[in-house]
Amino acid sequence: MASRVPMELSSRWHAGWCAVLAMVVAGCVAPTLDQRRDAVNSINKAFRADYEAILAEKGTKTFNVTRAEAYDAVRVSMARLGMTVEAQDPVLGYVNVYAPAPLPLNQQEWEEAAAADLPRTREIIGPHVGIFRHFFNFEPKGLESVISGTVVETAAGMEISFTARMREIAPPESGFPRREYLPPAAVRMALDKMWREVEREFKATYRRP
Amino acid sequence: MTEQAYPDALQPHYRMHWYTIEKVLGQGGFGITYLARDTNLDQLVAIKEYLPVEVVARRPDSTVQSRSEGQRERYRWGLERFIQEARTLARFDHPNIVRVHSVFEFNGTAYMVMRFEEGENLGALLERRGTLPEKDLLRILLPILDGLELVHNAGFIHRDIKPDNIHIRADGSPVLLDFGSARHALGKSRTLTILVAPGYAPFEQYHSNSENQGPWTDIYGLGATCYRAIAGTQPLDAITRSKGILGSTREVLVPARSIGSGRYSGQLLASIDHALEFAEKDRPQTVSEWRRELLGETGAASATPAAAEKPAGATPQRAAPSVASTVVAPSALPPVPPQAVSEMHGAASVARQSMARSAWSGARVTVAWAIAGAAAGAIAIAVFLRSPPPDPTAEARIREIQAELNRTKERLDKDSKELDAKTKERMLALLAEQRKLEEERRRQEEQARLAEQKKQDEERRRMEEEKRKLAARSKPPTTPATKPPPQPEIATRPPPLVIPVVPDSSEAPPVVAVAKPRPDPQAEQLKRGEAALARREYENAREILTPLAEGGNARAQVRVAAMYESGQQGVKQDLFRSYIWYSLAARGGDTTAAAGRDRMAARLQPVQVSQADRVVENWRPR
């Protein structure tokens, strides 16, 4: 009995020191706030370039429909994808919709997109956070996808275009600053999905000669 | 104050017969209500002046005149309806119907003299309190039903029931106001779409003919008012609901029973849902019928033949979700179960709640589920090992029951599809009719606009002609250059009779004429909108300024842009929309607008700026 007390004390001391040491080591090695910010800035820069390239390629389409048909199709197809209308102005031809991320992608699509973009993203942040790049993951929690759709009447027909961004509604669990731009694979996938819905709406609703 | 806040209003102390104006109580698009004193009886009264500012203007001598010859007929038609409404109302003497003492024509318009009631309208009360408890709601609703029943029994329909038209006196008793004047004010040439109160008007009111309207129309308005009082928000407007029913959108009305469950009695919620049935035939047909449902004197489910036709267990409020679940078929979407409808509306909040949980609590939940799953598995294995061999007779019976269930399900599905096809067909016909009417309205408005423009051009030409004539008359006679006119003659000549007129637009050349300057309707509207902004009546200001902005008025565009920029003026902040309005205004060289545009551009993504620029580039004023 007399010999157990020192032993327990000793093991507690040992565990406590280990914990303190681990915290000190982690504190010294873990990326600082500046490093994290730089990492996220790098992601934003790379993602923005990709995002703008993707939008230039497939962010706008022109259809041979009336303005009202185009406007309704945008609004309805967004609702079908689970997005909620936040603002709309038929006179300007503008609809703004939002939904908790990863919508308009479903969970499976999101996982595919994230898996496609993650290796490159970790490469981008590697120079800033070192080994901690392996702890980086996309965090759709606490974010909303916000999509702006516009309908513009041009000589070639009704021009529909989409842009998208992320909006933070809760801070990230990891403590990494938030990204503003969506991962490129997710943008591409979401745009394809949105256009499919718009085209399906035209086919379903309007049978033009 | 009055002059600034209500530029069209009569001034305090203005006298009409034995009534003296004291102050303005409020102004809508169709008239102004004043607090006045009846000097004969020495008591306060409320006087409503018919003044649809869209078609008439106040002259300096306080008389009212239509803005153009073309609008005179519309105005006269509305004026007659206004007087007719007053005469109708004067026939009712009920504590819950606004008491009309008199009506008279004066200043080229008409005035309805009513009892002055102190208190607050239900719209303002709900704005302040959000929702009302059941007891308070019934205290307002039941007396209104009594008054309305009297009106219906006399063969009239209110057609504009909404919280703003229910006044709550200081003692808590309610009074129903505004019997349809708004709907008549702009005359018959306007479609009713723009005159109905979205959310409170049923679908049948969106059509110009009134054949389908009846007590059930007012019951919908009351149901919607109750919905607002229990949900804190007004119901979806009927057009959106119609699209939800057709499956072109997922927006369907969340039943009161889902929203108010646990806070209000089942019978109240079921009655509200019954009153808000989309099809008029599915609603209670009379006030007394609906009152019985509200008081629990009869079951809501058996109240109408339509409800009785529904499968066992169905209640009237299930109609909207059930329709919504079937009409997605054309787009090959899976049916939306009723629960899913409310889940869709609550999805964002659920997502937010789940995000608030920490990762640690998530792990604990996972471990707990794993333990529970393992325990359940062990129990299942033990039960399986201990259970006796299956009885072949019982199994056969189970198979029979299963087959019977499948048959019943197929039959129900088939019936439901047939019913939905009929509903869809009817809705398509109604929507087609509505679209046709809208087209007609647009055509008429375009014609009126063109006629008005032609007239203005002619007027301008005439004035220019007169100006030229006057200028020619006032010019000195042409004389040879060698012989200048004698100086004394010029010095004594009287100045020419030339009065400058403020041009209608900055592009027009300066005009001189002997005519009195005509008031610019746009400038007056703008003044009203800005006055409403100054009074912090943001909703009113937005309603006045937005059409002006859409019509191309740069100053209104800047005002609207600023509202969207700040997001604190009755609209939700929307930088994209703000950027568009600032950009449109900046096209005319407005520096304030250009600064606003640049401010917004800095807060938007570059691609959003390009997207908005494309809208601006191709935008044409309405």
Comparing B131-135, B284-288, B561-565, the range with the smallest average pLDDT is B561-565
The total number of structural domains in chain A stands at 2
CB-closest option in A72, A173, A200 to B331: A200
What is the rounded distance in angstroms from the CA atom of residue A159 to the CA atom of residue B615?
10
CB-closest option in A99, A152, A204 to B331: A204
Comparing A185-189, B49-53, B70-74, B605-609, the range with the smallest average pLDDT is B70-74
- CA nearest to A85 within chain B: B251
Say if A11 is an interface residue toward chain B (CB within 8 Å): no
> What local confidence, expressed as pLDDT, does residue B408 receive?
59
**B355, A141: Cβ pair inside 8 Å?**
yes
Q: Which two tokens stand for residue A93?
A: 């031809």
Same domain, A10 and A97: no
Over residues B270-291, mean pLDDT: 92
Give the pairing of strands B31-38 and B19-27: antiparallel
Compute the count of residue pairs across chains A and B with CB atoms less than 8 Å apart.
85
CB-closest option in A80, A84, A163 to B348: A84
Residues in chain B within 8 Å Cβ distance of A141: 354-355
Architecture of domain B1-116: 2-Layer Sandwich (3.30)
pLDDT in tens, B264-273: 999 999 999 9
Q: What HEC string does B531-576 produce? A: HHHHCCCHHHHHHHHHHHHHCCCHHHHHHHHHHHHHCCCCCCCCHH
Same domain, A85 and A119: yes
pLDDT in tens, B78-123: 888 888 878 877 888 889 998 888 999 999 999 999 988 888 889 9
State yes or no: pLDDT of A150 exceeds 90.
yes
Say if A62 is an interface residue toward chain B (CB within 8 Å): no
Say if A59 is an interface residue toward chain B (CB within 8 Å): yes
What is the rounded distance in angstroms from the CA atom of residue B69 to the CA atom of residue B55?
10
> What local confidence, expressed as pLDDT, does residue B265 receive?
93
- Beta-bridge partner residues of A152: A159
Same domain, A5 and A52: no
What distance in Å separates residue A204's CA from the closest CA in chain B? Answer: 6
3-class secondary structure, B440: helix
What distance in Å separates residue A1's CA from the closest CA in chain B? Answer: 37
What is the rounded distance in angstroms from the CA atom of residue B495 to the CA atom of residue B472?
14
**B607, A80: Cβ pair inside 8 Å?**
no
Residues A72-81 as b or e (16 or more Cβ within 10 Å = b): bbbbbbbbbb
What distance in Å separates residue B337's CA from the closest CA in chain A? Answer: 15
A58: domain CATH number?
3.30.530.50
Same domain, A44 and A61: yes
- CA nearest to B340 within chain A: A82
State yes or no: pLDDT of B568 exceeds 60.
yes
**A87, B606: Cβ pair inside 8 Å?**
no
Same domain, A109 and A125: yes
Same domain, A44 and A10: no
Residues in chain A within 8 Å Cβ distance of B248: 72, 76, 201, 205
Same domain, A175 and A163: yes
- CA nearest to B352 within chain A: A142
What is the rounded distance in angstroms from the CA atom of residue B332 to the CA atom of residue A178?
37
Same domain, A103 and A173: yes
Residue B548 C-beta-side C-alpha neighbours within 13 Å: 27
Residues in chain B within 8 Å Cβ distance of A47: none
Which residue range forms the structural domain that includes residue A18? 1-30
B118-339 sits in which CATH class?
Answer: mainly alpha
Residues in chain B within 8 Å Cβ distance of A82: 344, 347
pLDDT in tens, A127-148: 887 777 777 777 667 788 899 9
Say if A205 is an interface residue toward chain B (CB within 8 Å): yes
Residues in chain A within 8 Å Cβ distance of B348: 84, 99-100, 144
Residues ≥6 apart with Cβ < 8 Å to B280: B202, B203, B204, B212, B213, B214, B216, B217, B220
CB-closest option in B330, B359, B614 to A152: B614
Same domain, A115 and A57: yes
Same domain, A81 and A5: no
Over residues B601-617, mean pLDDT: 88
> What local confidence, expressed as pLDDT, does residue B237 receive?
82
More confident residue, B530 or A30: B530
Same domain, A48 and A21: no
Can you give the residue ranges of every domain in chain B?
1-116, 118-339, 521-618
Name, of A94-98, A117-121, A122-126, B373-377, the range with top average pLDDT.
A94-98
- CA nearest to A169 within chain B: B352
CB-closest option in B358, B577, B605 to A163: B605
Asked whether the beta carbons of B265 and B447 are under 8 A apart, the reply is no
pLDDT in tens, A3-46: 444 444 456 656 666 655 555 544 445 667 677 777 878 888 88
Specify whether domain B521-618 bears CATH 1.25.40.10.
yes
Amino acid at B202: P
Comparing A146-155, B234-243, B297-306, the range with the smallest average pLDDT is B297-306
Same domain, A21 and A70: no
Of the pLDDT bands very low, low, confident and very high (cuts 50, 70, 90), residue B525 is confident
- For tokens 């019913």, the residue is B419
DSSP label at residue A123: H
**A99, B611: Cβ pair inside 8 Å?**
no
Task: Judge if ipTM > 0.85.
Answer: no
Of the pLDDT bands very low, low, confident and very high (cuts 50, 70, 90), residue B61 is confident
**A100, B347: Cβ pair inside 8 Å?**
yes
